[in-house]
Amino acid sequence: MYESPSSLEELCLDTICDNILIYVKLERTTHHDFSKGKRYKFADPDLFLFKEISEKLLGKFQEKNILCDALMYLFDERNTKLGSVKLKNCKVTQTGLQVLKQHKVVDLDCVNLKNVCIGDILDCLNDWSMKNLANVNFSKCTFIDMQRHSLMVKITNLKNLRSLNLAYTELNQLSFKMVCEDLRFLEKLDISGTFVKDLSPLLLLKHLVGLSISDLSQAKNYVSTLTLLPHLRHLDASIFNEKLDSMSESSSPCAILPIIEDPATLPHLVSLDVSGWRDFIPTESLHRFVESHPRLEFLGIVLSDCTFDPTFSATAWPNLTIAGLGNEAQIKVALKKYWERSNYVQKALYHLFQLTNLAPEARPDMFNLVLPVMAAHSNKFGVQMAATACLYNLTRGDLSKKIHPRALSRGVNLTLYAMECFPDEFQLQKNSLLTLCSDTILQEINFDRFRCAKLVLDALCAFEDVNMNRMAVAICSILAAKVSTEETSELGARPVYMRKLLAMVQNRVESITSDITLKFTLSALWNLTDESAATCTVFLEQGGAYLFLNVLKTFKNDCAIETKVLGLLNNIAEVVKLRHSLMMDSLMNELFGLLKSENIDVSYFAAGIVAHLASDGAEQWTVSSHSRKEMLGELQSAVSQWKVPDSEMVAYRSFRPFFSLLRTDMDFQVQLWAVWAIHHVCTKNPKRYCVMLQEEKGHLLLNDLINYSDSHPDIKLISLQILETVAGHV
């Protein structure tokens, strides 16, 4: 694979988070502390995590979406050390943040915290941190506390601040002016999407080298201020949320254009972002600007018309990195830089889809770029639609084999979440099935197979599409064999799923169509009924037995179809209370002929049905077309003529359905089929089945048959061979 495995440090952090209650315990509180809520502390009071690990553990808690006030108490100064605190989209409140008073914080990132205001966050810092904070990010947070008081003035106490991000907060003109007056050491400032109306206070910041004013194109003194910032090296003047269509000509819709058209302005510029301006910036003007700024290393032109111009899509400037949509390199940069901007991401994914359509080689780099943006915008249909299409392009056929299993697993989980979020969107569901319908994914990758099977069956029932039907039953035919018996019962016992699957079979019977969809559907039903009495019951209630009898009659001598039908009926025959449903003259007539089939798979499963039905005794044999004695004779004849196949013919979850057939007082013909079956799988796959037989105590029943004086010699011989095989592998 192209990726290295996770580091030991990463695995340890994952293990701690996934099993957090092993490593922590609830702190005992006095009767005065009940209002403070739950608190955790490390189970080992002497444990100490140095700074780097402490900060990574805090980040991992967020990644796992488990960070809360109770876990914040783990970061006591006696056990941890924090210098850089990064919190984003989590549910912590001022109560949990109080622990920060114990640490010397230099870098503070609090992004999109909804349960605490900026003023209260600052109140959780000690004097040292307030004096020494260098970098602060409060983007998408609020200055307004629970009492609706605005506490913007506190930000001006951070006298040593070098970098400040207040993007998409309630920062107004007055507070902006105070920031520029009091925080004179600021080198980087982000006021994107705020309520700032006039940029002129920026002139007070003599050390300013980085400025982000995205979505502030309507601010006054835009050009006059920017031109008087000679030391500026990084400028983000992109458009993200603003509606350019609503800007009139009188309001100067392209505020940045005079800057672009003046080659002499901002001579030290290293990065410039003018994404989102569409056709407001002429390609020729931007080209001249780039030519006159040789220090420029980054240019953002996503959602700008010039992104498709050969001037920028070709490699005219080898030292310039461009984020755009014009070629692969631009798209990759755009997905990395703008992963939080849904409209940018959607466009970039659309063009990525066009680029990767029919791609001849695996592109794990592209695959890994899609995953973060897909996760970041799980509720945006446009993004999910484009992302699911890209994932299919990048994994179809053998391409998935060149992508790291960990990345594939994450891609599958994101695909399943998209299916859950948009169950009624046909094309998205189809994209998802296209991705999931992969042997590599279904057989080798770790993911919740039950969840997947349920979503696939939901899609199968929701839409009537030939290709979707084929993919859905193909996926389910594999997944149903890989989930637990409890899970197959939960899936198969839902009448809506059973009706849909049986309707698809009925359609093929009526049209006499033996296609791959029919075979996948039969396989899915076979696996869903395996050791599941509940599924077998629903199958019979929905008329499955009569339908499958018609399948046998319609597709005579089609061994693949006959095997799957008889395999399912065999599952029903294993359920004692359901055997009477198979006591039909017409079915017995079919079984009588199929026992003689030259195909051992067909003969084997037909024999299994007869063995189970006959095991209930003569009193329960209610068919008249063939006597029980006659069928037992045919059963013995069939088993005696079988030649051992080269490979494993059948897979079993358990040997328990065989145990009632191994009673010492059972007809030896029934016993013969059971011991032949056990012997077959134990010799073909001893590693699995010998252990299974031992664990389920099946070897004791075989010993009983060997020691029972009236046991048939063939039964004793095969039982002895089985035990010898088991002894050699257990």
Mean residue pLDDT of the chain comes to 93
For residue 269, CA distances in Å to 227, 289, 303, 324, 485 come to: 12, 11, 22, 19, 64
Share of residues in the chain with pLDDT > 70 (%): 96
Element (H, E) at 119: helix 118-123
Closest to 481 measured CA to CA, from 518, 455, 442, 451: 442
pLDDT band at 3 (very low <50, low <70, confident <90, very high): low
3-state class of 144 per DSSP? strand
Across 334-349, average pLDDT = 96
Predicted confidence (pLDDT) per residue in 528-550, tens digit: 999 999 999 999 999 999 999 99
| DSSP structure class, residue 484 | -
In angstroms and rounded to an integer, the radius of gyration of the C-alpha atoms of the chain is: 35
Look at residue 154 in the predicted model and tell me its pLDDT. Answer: 86
Look at residue 471 in the predicted model and tell me its pLDDT. Answer: 97
Read off φ and ψ for residue 330, nearest 5 degrees: -65, -40
Predicted confidence (pLDDT) per residue in 121-130, tens digit: 999 999 999 9
The Cα–Cα gap between 642 and 724 comes to 21
Predicted confidence (pLDDT) per residue in 670-705, tens digit: 999 999 999 999 999 999 999 999 999 999 999 999
Look at residue 152 in the predicted model and tell me its pLDDT. Answer: 78
Strands 234-236 and 271-273 come out as parallel
Across 184-206, average pLDDT = 96
Kindly report the number of other CB atoms within 10 A of residue 21's CB atom: 9
3-state class of 68 per DSSP? coil
Residue 505 neighbours by CB under 8 Å, 6+ apart: 518, 521, 522, 525, 547, 548, 551
The Cα–Cα gap between 25 and 314 comes to 59
For residue 549, CA distances in Å to 552, 605, 635, 685, 715 come to: 5, 14, 20, 32, 32
Across 556-575, average pLDDT = 96
Q: Cα 614 to chain center, whole Å?
A: 48
Q: Is the pLDDT of residue 251 over 80?
A: no
Look at residue 218 in the predicted model and tell me its pLDDT. Answer: 87
Q: Is the pLDDT of residue 315 over 90?
A: no
Predicted confidence (pLDDT) per residue in 463-517, tens digit: 999 999 999 999 999 999 999 999 999 999 999 999 999 999 999 999 999 999 9
Look at residue 547 in the predicted model and tell me its pLDDT. Answer: 97
| Tokens coding 702 | 């075989």
Look at residue 31 in the predicted model and tell me its pLDDT. Answer: 47
| Tokens coding 172 | 């107004």
The Cα–Cα gap between 193 and 225 comes to 18
The answer to whether the CB of 117 falls within 8 A of the CB of 149 is: no
The answer to whether the CB of 428 falls within 8 A of the CB of 466 is: no
Predicted confidence (pLDDT) per residue in 408-456, tens digit: 999 999 999 999 999 999 999 999 999 999 999 999 999 999 999 999 9
The answer to whether the CB of 582 falls within 8 A of the CB of 615 is: no
